[in-house]
């Protein structure tokens, strides 16, 4: 596995030599290949999540404030579990190198503005997460999911504001962001490069990052699939069908 060094390393010379001795036989051994493999491994879950009734209703032209409220409520419980768990397994120095910032406070501000109480956390889900992400290496995979959600959130925000029309002016968008906020694209590019460098410099097994990304994405997907959509009766495609279409 070769490494693209886009950050200054302070590792000893022996570690630098190790980087250049790594083989390129790994499917994630080329610059940018880890991010490509992460996208590939999580693609079916991405399609399945987009096909959930709640998400389809959120992106529909007839979306209303009630559906947006349901979305924020559904996101609150898994985010309150996932984000603190991932951040607790990373050093502050690592979080700075990755350029990540917690999004849960913004979600909590939106819920407070809408007078929506925080949903209770379930201890069994917390236990599940403990087994899915056990250390810093696996936390990197989980952070890929959350940072990707931040990037996608801007797309959702733009669609919502267009479809909601004047209603949008009465709703908070701290969590998803608005066009007035800095574009998340630059942060995503920084995170992508920093993630690949971190895996190389710390000699992490890429398969552990990939496995954790899939596990955390599935955890989020399952949480959203259990949520009650405002327009549950709509005949949206089911997640399994979406994933099958992607594989075919």
**Digit-coded pLDDT (tens) for 59-76:** 999 999 999 999 999 999
**Digit-coded pLDDT (tens) for 172-220:** 999 999 877 778 889 999 999 999 999 999 999 999 999 999 999 999 9
Q: What pTM was estimated for this model as a whole?
A: 0.80
For residue 20, being part of any structural domain is answered with no
What's CA 34's distance to the chain center, in Å?
16
Confidence at 104, pLDDT banded by 50, 70, 90: very high
For residue 22, being part of any structural domain is answered with no
Where in the sequence is the domain holding 65, given as residue range(s)?
A: 31-230
pLDDT surpassing 60 at residue 235 = no
For residue 98, being part of any structural domain is answered with yes
Q: What is the mean pLDDT of the chain?
A: 82
Tally of domains in the chain: 1
CATH number at residue 52: 1.20.910.10
For residue 243, being part of any structural domain is answered with no
CA distance 58 to 160: 7
Over residues 7-27, the mean pLDDT reads: 38
Residue 11 pLDDT: 41
For residue 172, give the nearest of 107, 84, 85 by alpha carbon: 107
Residue 44 pLDDT: 97
For residue 138, give the nearest of 187, 88, 193 by alpha carbon: 88
Confidence at 8, pLDDT banded by 50, 70, 90: very low
Task: Tell me how far CA of residue 120 lies from CA of 76, 110, 113, in angstroms.
Answer: 9, 17, 18
SS (H, E, C) 140-200: HHHHHHHHHHHHHHHHHHHHHHHHHHHHHHHCCCCCCCCCCCCCHHHHHHHHHHHHHHHHH
Contact 232, 40 (CB under 8 A): no
pLDDT surpassing 90 at residue 159 = yes
For residue 91, being part of any structural domain is answered with yes
């Amino acid at each position: 596995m070769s490494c693209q060094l886009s950050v200054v390393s302070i590792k000893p010379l022996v570690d630098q030599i190790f980087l250049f001795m790594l083989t390129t036989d790994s499917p994630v051994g080329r610059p940018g290949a880890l991010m490509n493999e992460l996208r590939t491994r999580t693609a079916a879950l991405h399609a399945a999540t987009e096909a959930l009734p709640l998400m389809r209703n959120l992106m529909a032209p007839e979306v209303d404030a009630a559906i947006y409220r349901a979305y924020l409520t559904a996101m609150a419980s898994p985010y309150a579990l996932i984000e603190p768990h991932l951040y607790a397994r990373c050093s502050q120095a690592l979080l700075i190198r990755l350029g990540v910032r917690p999004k849960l406070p913004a979600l909590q501000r939106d819920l407070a503005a809408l007078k929506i109480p925080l949903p209770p956390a379930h201890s069994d889900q917390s236990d599940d997460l403990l087994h899915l992400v056990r250390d810093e290496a696996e936390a990197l995979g989980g952070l890929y999911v959350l940072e990707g959600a931040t990037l996608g959130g801007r797309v959702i925000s733009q669609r919502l504001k267009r479809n909601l029309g004047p209603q949008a002016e009465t709703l908070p968008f701290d969590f998803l962001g608005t066009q007035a906020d800095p574009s998340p694209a630059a942060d995503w590019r920084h995170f992508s490069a920093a993630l690949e460098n971190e895996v190389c410099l710390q000699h992490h097994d890429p398969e552990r990052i990939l496995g954790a990304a899939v596990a955390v994405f599935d955890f989020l997907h399952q949480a959203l699939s259990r949520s009650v959509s405002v327009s549950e009766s709509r005949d949206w495609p089911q997640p399994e069908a979406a994933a099958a279409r992607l594989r075919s």
